[in-house]
Amino acid sequence: MSHKLISRSPDLKKLRDEGYEIEVKNTYLLVRNIPYVNSKSEVAFGVLVTPLGDLAGDRTVKPQDHVIHFMGEHPCDKEGNVIKGIKHSSGRKALAEGIEVDHSFSNKPPNGYADYYEKITAYVRIIASHAESIDRSVTAKTFKVVESNDPDIVFNYLDANSSKAEIETISAKLQNLKVAIIGLGGTGSYVLDFVAKTPVREIHLFDNDNFFSHNAFRSPGAAPIDALREQPKKVIYLHSVYSKMHKYIVPHEYHITPSVLEELSGMNFVFICMDEGKIKKLIIQKLTESAISFVDVGVGINVVDGLLTGSVRVTTVTMEKNNHIDKRISFADNVDNDYDRNVQIAEINALNAALAVIKWKKLFGFYHDLGKEHHAVYDIAVNKLINDEIVS
């Protein structure tokens, strides 16, 4: 309830987005790390506490009380004199389990406070201004990471990026999706990196290969040598990395085979990031029969005159358009592709993944999609992106 209340209450959300360290505990709003001056003219940090009073379901209403509580010494001016303008009462007092305050302050505007943002920031200005006169670097806006224990939230900490950019309603279009990534090599690992930062409900990883040193050079981040020595499965290693951020990443330590194709039936979208032609054909047949949209990615790199050249491809298949599969997707195993020998080209993998994820987000209403292409090829040598298979 705490995180939902903050996200759905404009005043609390504004406090959080501006960097205030807020928490809802029982029926109280706590704002931590408030800089103040103590009686020794030292800068210290306390906690403002205000009852939330009545709630409109999962939203706050106008504060009925102008009084606020404080954990810490009584705030003073820079000379160490108590700020008398807000003095109300003092004495240790338990408001609720785990919430004990030392003082209460009173500062009542003529019409009361319009919301909790106005109430909190008014008291912060009064208290923190004296601390700032001693040390200009102190601030109540810590932007501290807020952990999430709410099972309805897929991240282990709140998505401050979406809230700060005010695109939460757009990001929410990706909620409740089950996404599969087949193949966690260079491109697939970058797909995971991008998708793990979205609020999809589940991310399923399919790959039976081990994570070796060469994989580290074409995957996101920097793999520690201790992890490489253990030779973990790719999905296990990547799960250990990205589960620190996203709660619902499911590793499958096996390749897709005819016997496990049915596991794709419950997916809302699939990223195909593998080359094996025979099984890829079976996967695509299964997805098409099940009306599941997908993208198939490909990288073709060759050595020409001592330089690398080639292209990256993103082929999209939806129920709106699927008559281009045989023309645009190869089901032959690549044997003349230097990509298998020149694997340390992370930027090409990342580009391929980015184009695929952008297309996926377009299909689910995150980005505008005016082109409606279902096949795109980026040519490295001429730096050109070519769109084809347009849906009119």
Q: Is residue 116 part of a domain?
A: yes
pLDDT tens digits for 176-229? 999 999 999 999 999 999 999 999 999 999 999 999 999 999 999 999 999 999
Residues 125 and 165 in one domain: no
Total domain count for the chain? 2
Q: Strand 87-96 relative to strand 99-106: parallel, antiparallel, unpaired?
A: antiparallel
Is residue 274 exposed (0-12), middle (13-18) or buried (19+ Cβ within 10 Å)? buried
Q: Cα separations (Å) of 112 from 6, 30, 66, 80?
A: 21, 20, 7, 29
Q: Is residue 61 part of a domain?
A: yes
Residues 67 and 200 in one domain: no
**pLDDT value at position 164?**
62
Q: Is residue 218 part of a domain?
A: yes
Query: Domain containing 308 — which CATH number?
Result: 3.40.50.720
Would you place residue 339 in the very low, low, confident or very high pLDDT band (cuts 50, 70, 90)? very low
In sequence order, the β-bridge partners of residue 32 are 21
Q: Strand 67-71 relative to strand 28-37: parallel, antiparallel, unpaired?
A: unpaired
Residues 281 and 385 in one domain: yes
Q: Is residue 141 part of a domain?
A: no
In sequence order, the β-bridge partners of residue 25 are 28
**pLDDT value at position 180?**
98
Distance between CA atoms of residues 182 and 287, nearest Å: 12
Please tell me the least confidently modeled range out of 173-182, 223-232, 243-252, 330-339: 330-339
Q: Is residue 86 part of a domain?
A: yes
Structural domain of residue 164, as residue ranges? 160-390
**pLDDT value at position 340?**
46
> Is a pLDDT exceeding 80 seen at residue 33?
yes
> Is a pLDDT exceeding 80 seen at residue 156?
yes
> Is a pLDDT exceeding 60 seen at residue 66?
yes
Residues 195 and 98 in one domain: no
Residues 176 and 249 in one domain: yes
Residues 172 and 112 in one domain: no
Cβ 355 vs Cβ 315: under 8 Å: no
**pLDDT value at position 351?**
97
Distance between CA atoms of residues 189 and 384, nearest Å: 24
> Is a pLDDT exceeding 60 seen at residue 128?
yes
> Is a pLDDT exceeding 60 seen at residue 387?
yes
Residue 388 has a CB neighbour count (10 Å cut-off) of 14
Residues 215 and 322 in one domain: yes
Residue 221 tokens read as: 């981040």
Residue type, 306: G
pTM of the model: 0.76
CA nearest to 146, candidates 54, 30, 58: 30
Residues 127 and 187 in one domain: no
What are the b/e assignments for 72-96, b being 16+ CB within 10 Å?
bbbbbbeeeeebeebeeeeeeeebe
> Is a pLDDT exceeding 80 seen at residue 294?
yes
Q: Phi first, then psi: what are they for 109, rounded to 5°?
A: -75, 160
Residues 284 and 336 in one domain: yes
Cβ 251 vs Cβ 188: under 8 Å: no
Residues 114 and 206 in one domain: no
Residues 206 and 73 in one domain: no
Q: Is residue 24 part of a domain?
A: yes
Q: Is residue 153 part of a domain?
A: no
Q: Is residue 143 part of a domain?
A: no
Residue 357 tokens read as: 């994820």
Residues 256 and 208 in one domain: yes
Q: Cα separations (Å) of 372 from 367, 368, 388, 392?
A: 11, 9, 9, 8
